[in-house]
Structure 1
């Protein structure tokens, strides 16, 4: 069984990877992990504590996992710098492929910072980076 990693940030763009996984991989052939990485330097004011933010993110991950009904799905929430955390998690978890979208930053910047980091540092797995023209 292939292990597929979907790093998502909750944006509509990142959630389109769920549709792609459903189109590419039969549910009996893959195990999917939805990974959300929250930056350590996230602005936290009086209204929000780190625990509240983590609870909200965990609820979002649970909701997103329901979009993959029929596929074996795990959810993981990490804190840190997204690029390095994703690479470390993928390496330690022995994933086969990573599916994500790229940000649309205009004609000069082909990939966002996280996708660029992954291309440079995650050569041990298959990367599928979808191009998105709309947010």
Structure 2
């Protein structure tokens, strides 16, 4: 039987790291394969992308993913970095990898769409798999 694949998009914030803790709490070691993903949205200035900005973004993304992978060291984990619109890249990766569950964290911003985040709303609307949304204040229960 194939293990279920979980995609965890993170942005490096403490809030987004809650998704990792949630997955560890819910899914036993060895029961799932995990892809941790970081997407950097590129901003064009006069239709130019500054090469230094790209290099810096890639390095930051790599650092974020390595820190996340370390938190998930007991699990079979891959990391993936992309440039683009986060929701588009998350949906694309989920299709490519035949993902069973996407685990995301709620946004801390105010307003209806901001309640769970515009990227999350977009992913929920378009995903062909389960999307689990972790609350900001998720804490691990001690068993």
**TM-score, normalized by length of structure 1?**
0.88
Which residues of 2 match residues 1-135 of structure 1 at below 5 A? 1-41=3-43, 48-106=52-110, 108-109=112-113, 110-122=115-127, 124-132=128-136
Provide structure 1 residue ranges, at least 5 long, that are not aligned to the other structure: none
Q: Partners in 2 of 1:125 and 1:42 — Cα distance?
A: 32
Deviations 1:70-113 (A, max 9, x none): 10110000000001110011011100001011102235443211
Paired residue secondary structure (2:116):
coil
TM-score, normalized by length of structure 2?
Answer: 0.84
Instruction: Compute the RMSD of aligned alpha carbons.
Output: 2.1
Higher helix share: 2
Shift of 1:55: 1.8
Deviation above 2 Å: which 4+ runs of structure 1?
A: 42-46, 104-111
Q: Tell me the matched-pair count.
A: 132
Structure 2 gaps, min length 5: 139-143
